[in-house]
Amino acid sequence: MKKIIIEDVFFWMDGGTMTLKIKKEESILYEVEFVQKMSLERGKREIENKPIPGSLLLNRKEVEIRSELETEILSEIKAAEFGIKIAEKERDSLREIISEAIKFVESEDYVSVAKRVGRIK
């Protein structure tokens, strides 16, 4: 199995967006973002490129719901270890927060939110 390292975790002040900076196989860097799901009013987006609430992004692009790519991303995150930048004392709570985000994406609530914000019909 490929070695996956979560190098950094960022929390945005928007109601829950979390960004993971991930390194795979010592060289491939990518970013996974779990977009907040507190404010679902997509029509009130002030910024054109603002991500859709409740979505999963890979390098700032939406990942198709229930796609192979979505499954692969979530599997990699589940198997990932934390990098040296992340303090030992923070790892348990971060692991729990990340696990909750994954559970949401795998849930039927994720599909319901996607319908509500117009990602799917």
Average pLDDT over the chain, rounded to whole? 89
Structure tokens at 23: 């390194």
| Rg, C-alpha atoms of the chain | 14
Side-chain half-sphere exposure of 49, counting CA atoms within 13 A: 2
Q: Residue 66 corresponds to which amino acid?
A: R
Structure tokens at 117: 């914000």
β 81-82/56-58 pair status: unpaired
Helix boundaries (H) for 18-107: 68-79, 88-106
Res. 44: pLDDT tops 50: no
Label residue 105 by pLDDT band (50, 70, 90). Answer: very high
Side-chain half-sphere exposure of 36, counting CA atoms within 13 A: 14
Look at residues 71, 62, 58, 54 and name the one whose alpha carbon lies nearest to residue 17: 54
For residues 13 and 83, the model is more confident at: 83
**Amino acid 111: pLDDT:** 95
pTM exceeding the 0.85 threshold for the entire prediction: yes
**Amino acid 42: pLDDT:** 52
> Residue 77: which residues within 8 A CB-CB, separation 6 or more?
4, 6, 20, 22, 32, 98, 102
**Amino acid 41: pLDDT:** 66
Structural domain boundaries of the chain?
4-41+49-116
